[in-house]
Amino acid sequence: APAAPPPPSPSDLHHGPSRTLALYATAPDGKRTLLANVTATFALCPDELEATPDGYDKDLDKVQSCPIFPARVEGDANALAGFLAYLVARKKAAVLSRGPPRVYLEPQTLGPQGAVVFRYRES
């Protein structure tokens, strides 16, 4: 059998042109809130990412073994910062797209200039 291709390095992230992604959170009552607009160059990512009440993953070791793609918040980051604080307190990652690729937002604090890191799994 032919050898499996080596996994792509985290620096080879299917980059495309920079574009704006809308990041939403939907509450258990169905209310949908725009958390932030973020810019990223990850070509495989859908234009809209959404955290849903049933879309969380507590297996942080698994999530944190996935490759990352960086993004930057455009404009007001307060809502996203509050959501990240919730993830940190609950020790769980949000599943923002079921994929492929599956996109995760892990517990973290916003970096300088609104830097935020997403993780993805291609299958």
* Concatenated DSSP letters of 11-77: T---EEEEEEEEEEEE-TTS-EEEEEEEEEEETTS-SEEEE-TT-EE--HHHHTTS-EEEEEEES--
pLDDT at 12 over 80: no
Task: Write down the pTM of the prediction.
Answer: 0.86
36: number of Cβ within 10 Å: 25
**pLDDT digits 0-9 by tens, 41-79:** 998 889 999 999 999 999 999 999 999 999 999 999 999
Q: How confident is the model at residue 3 (pLDDT cuts 50, 70, 90)?
A: low
pLDDT at 79: 95
pLDDT at 10 over 60: no
Q: How confident is the model at residue 9 (pLDDT cuts 50, 70, 90)?
A: low
Pairwise CA distance, residues 118 & 38, whole Å: 11
pLDDT at 13 over 70: no
Token pair, residue 81, equals 């910062």
Q: Please check whether residue 49 is in contact with residue 24, taking contact to mean a CB–CB distance below 8 angstroms.
A: yes
pLDDT at 8 over 60: no
Pairwise CA distance, residues 119 & 106, whole Å: 8
Distance set, CA 108 to CA 5, 14, 74, 92 (Å): 32, 23, 18, 10
Q: 12 vs 74, which has greater pLDDT? A: 74
pLDDT at 47: 93
pLDDT at 5 over 70: no
